[in-house]
């Protein structure tokens, strides 16, 4: 049987041993030294000049003086000399508020030893093989140590996952990070099974981009519009959608669709719908919405159309369930030109003017037409009582015909010469008028008569 204990090497009392108190006191000294072990200094190399009984130093590798050759041991002053003990692996020693662990070669901080060696850590909870660190608390604070602070999540390969997962009842609801690639993505789920990618940031360009083949830089995911006319509520609008910021406006599916969301579109030859008369099918369309079921459209023809300089507009009538007729919005480029109409509504310019050998004319979009001419009349010699007139009525053929003789008014400005002369005009038909000049005395002087006819062209 050994005369020392197995763990602390405390001396045993032997049978028939003389001076048993010496052996007993030696064991007590060892226990007094290592139980609740506290030291004055870790890594000490030089013995103090006036040590006190019971003080202990944890020696460094190469101490001097009375500690020479005792490196790595515990040195205890017993009052009359030094007692040296080699620490065992796993012993703990305290110095004021500092606690260290002997790992077999050096005294190391117990905190560092725990985080480096333990399989896991649970704070107010239990960890497992997957969740090596578990914290159950109302909040977890990570703060700086005098400057900034970073939380780092590292993965081995680009195809692995480094992310933050947010759960409800241990079921995933949102995730942000690099999952399956190096693109930074934000995803959400309603049940923890089906996931929708809200946004994805391309790692090469730094732009918000797509993992589904759309060329960067662009937007992708369910948080943004999925097509140029996607009007899903709450989605972010991509540049170019609805014609905003686009080099080319999106094609309108159907010009007559009242449910089409507001925006700027274009029409092609194959685009279905009702177009303004004479405007063609190539053009730009601006759609405005006041509320669901309503609609207001501007149409701007393009190409070689005769209406290329005009702007047309129309309103959707929700009560009737149909679009009202196209109306023309006029500008300085379209106010003058050829007037036209359909069912009494203008389809051409506001004012039309022209002239020929029979005079000049002005037509207005409301149907009013005015013709003007100057006529030379000679030989006022035929007597009618005391009044003289031309032998025959002069005929004025209008530069353009009127729609009818109803409400057709022919007036004259009278001869330009001074004297007792006057003129009278009447409508013969929709294409001509008769003019006579009257005088108190016969004259062979040529008389100049100003004529005007006012009526309607439709």
Checking if the pLDDT of 247 tops 90, the result is: no
Mean per-residue pLDDT of the chain: 84
pLDDT band of 8, cuts 50, 70, 90 = low
Q: What's the alpha-carbon Rg for the chain, to the nearest Å?
A: 54
Average pLDDT over residues 212-229: 60
pLDDT of the residue at 367: 95
- Summarised one tens digit per residue, pLDDT across range 417-436 is 656 678 888 999 999 999 88
| Domain range 351-456, CATH architecture | Sandwich (2.60)
Band of residue 10 on the pLDDT scale cut at 50, 70, 90: low
- Which of these ranges, 10-24, 305-319, 320-334, 432-446, has the smallest mean pLDDT? 10-24
Judge contact between 271 and 281, C-beta under 8 A.
yes
Place of tokens 């000399």: 81
Cβ atoms of residues 433 and 453 within 8 Å: yes
Question: Could you tell me the pLDDT band of residue 225, with boundaries at 50, 70 and 90?
Answer: confident
- Which residues of the chain are in CATH 2.60.40.3940 domains? 351-456
Res 411 pLDDT > 60: yes
Burial (CB < 10 A; 0-12, 13-18, 19+), residue 430, is middle
For the range 51-57, what are the long-range contacts, defined as Cβ-Cβ under 8 Å and sequence gap of 24 or more? 51/77, 52/77, 53/77, 53/78, 53/79
217 upstream amide cis, omega within 30 of 0: yes
Average pLDDT over residues 141-148: 94
How does residue 218 score in pLDDT terms, banded at 50, 70 and 90?
very low
Distances (CA, A) of 318 to 128, 202, 265: 64, 45, 22
Q: Is 192 left (phi over 0), alpha (psi -120 to 50) or beta?
A: left
């Amino acid at each position: 049987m050994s005369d020392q204990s197995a763990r602390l090497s405390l001396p045993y009392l032997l049978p028939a041993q003389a001076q048993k108190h010496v052996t007993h006191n030696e064991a007590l000294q060892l226990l007094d030294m290592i139980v609740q072990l506290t030291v004055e200094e870790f890594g000490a190399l030089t013995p103090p000049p006036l040590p006190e009984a019971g003080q202990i130093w944890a020696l460094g590798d190469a101490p001097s003086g009375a500690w020479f050759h005792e490196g790595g041991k515990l040195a205890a002053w017993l009052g009359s000399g030094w007692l040296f003990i080699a620490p065992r692996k796993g012993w703990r020693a305290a110095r004021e508020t500092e606690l260290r662990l002997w790992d077999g070669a050096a005294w190391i901080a117990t905190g560092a030893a725990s985080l480096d060696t333990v399989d896991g850590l649970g704070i107010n909870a239990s960890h497992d093989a997957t969740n090596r660190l578990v914290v159950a608390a109302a909040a977890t604070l990570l703060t700086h140590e005098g400057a900034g602070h970073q939380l780092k999540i590292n993965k081995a390969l680009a195809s692995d996952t480094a992310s933050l997962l947010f759960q409800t009842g241990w079921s995933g609801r949102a995730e942000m990070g690099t999952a399956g690639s190096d693109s930074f993505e934000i995803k959400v789920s309603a049940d923890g099974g089906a996931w929708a990618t809200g946004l994805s940031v391309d790692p090469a360009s730094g732009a918000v981009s797509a993992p589904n083949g759309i060329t960067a830089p662009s937007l992708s995911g369910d948080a943004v519009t999925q097509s140029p006319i996607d009007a899903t509520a709450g989605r972010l609008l991509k540049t170019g959608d609805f014609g905003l910021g686009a080099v080319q406006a999106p094609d309108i599916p159907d010009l007559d669709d009242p449910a089409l969301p507001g925006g700027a579109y274009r029409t092609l030859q194959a685009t279905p719908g009702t177009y303004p008369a004479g405007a063609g099918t190539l053009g730009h369309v601006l759609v405005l919405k006041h509320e669901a079921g309503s609609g207001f459209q501007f149409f701007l023809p393009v190409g070689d159309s005769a209406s290329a300089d005009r702007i047309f507009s129309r309103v959707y009538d929700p009560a009737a369930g149909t679009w009202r007729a196209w109306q023309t919005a006029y500008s300085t480029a379209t106010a003058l030109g050829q007037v036209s109409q359909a069912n009494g509504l203008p389809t051409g310019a506001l004012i039309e003017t022209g002239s020929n050998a029979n005079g000049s004319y002005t037509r207005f979009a409301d149907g009013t037409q005015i013709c003007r001419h100057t006529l030379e009349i000679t030989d006022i010699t035929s007597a009618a009582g005391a009044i003289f007139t031309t032998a025959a009525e002069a005929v004025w053929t209008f530069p353009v015909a009127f729609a009818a003789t109803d409400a057709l008014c022919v007036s004259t400005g009278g001869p330009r010469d001074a004297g007792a002369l006057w003129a009278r005009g009447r409508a013969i038909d929709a294409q001509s008028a008769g003019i006579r000049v009257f005088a108190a005395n016969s004259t062979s002087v040529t008389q100049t008569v100003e004529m005007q006819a006012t009526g309607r062209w439709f």
